[in-house]
Amino acid sequence: MAEPVVRIPDAKVALSTASVYPESTATAFEIAARLGYDGVEVMVWTDPVSQDIEALRRLSDYHRIPILAVHAPCLLITQRVWSTDPWIKLQRARAAAEKLGASTVVVHPPFRWQRQYSRDFVTGIWQMANETDVRFAVENMYPWRYRDREMLAYAPDWDVTKDDYRHFTIDLSHTATARTDALQMVDRMSDRLGHVHLADGSGSLKDEHLVPGRGTQPCAELLERLALSGYDGHVVIEVNTRRAMSGAEREADLAEALAFTRLHLASAVRVPRT
């Protein structure tokens, strides 16, 4: 009989700095180092430190925690961060990633009202990807819903697998909000899946970003599939801890998310004895 062998992929487990909100970017580095994360993904947003490459470098060096990815400022609240021109935002995100040693820039598809940007987005992302070793991993989003109404807020589409990108980011909180099958989306992404935002969701109208295992998404199944497939991207914990009543409660949630991820990335497979 073959004995089970644990196979652990090369994927690193990172903490998104967004996971500590309303705490600061600097706090995220401290927590990631203390809990044993392999690195961080920097969400570039209104915190000035998140926009400052030298400040980020100092935090990385001080805490000995690498910056593995940069999330470009694509949110509604970051429309004026690093410019109002979305292409300049992406150029600055790429430059930041290159200077900080990050392998990936995460980017959302454009908002539908960004008409010229959305028209040029697919070809523009390919052009930028061809100019660097940094991966531009385009993230799946979701329709905006209010009661029985649905608005398609993203263009070309919230389902990024309908367009041709070199690399994708899968976000399981977003698949929950979109009420789409996460594993089928991963199948469509195939070997172009380059980045994972791990969180959970219940399928509500809100983008919940629950701790993995607390919702309905196939978080464990996805991680086990990544382990078996030899996935070489990063797995980033991007959860919402805003309701934490204390710093200790926030850290407990982030420690639980890390333990869940490491457990399910360690996939037991059977191989013949030699």
Is 90 exceeded by the pLDDT of residue 4?
no
Instruction: State residue 9's pLDDT score.
Output: 67
Mean pLDDT on 108-129? 96
Is 90 exceeded by the pLDDT of residue 106?
yes
Report residue 50: phi and psi, to 5°. -65, -20
Report residue 119: phi and psi, to 5°. -65, -35
Those residues with Cβ within 8 angstroms of residue 159's Cβ, 6 or more apart along the chain or in another chain: 140, 178, 180, 185
Q: What is the DSSP letter of 78?
A: G
Distance CA 54, CA 105 (A): 18
Strand (E) positions, 25-93?
Answer: 39-43, 67-71
The length of the chain in residues reads 274
Q: Rg of the chain over CA atoms, in angstroms?
A: 18
Q: What proportion of the chain, given as a percentage, has pLDDT over 90?
A: 85
Helix (H) or strand (E) holding 60: helix 53-63
Is 70 exceeded by the pLDDT of residue 272?
no
Q: What is the DSSP letter of 131?
A: T
Q: Which amino acid is at 77?
A: I
Q: Torsion angle of alpha carbons 258, 263, 264, 265, nearest 10°? A: 80
Mean pLDDT on 207-228? 96
pLDDT tens profile 29-74: 999 999 999 999 999 999 999 999 999 999 999 999 999 999 999 9
pTM of this structure: 0.93
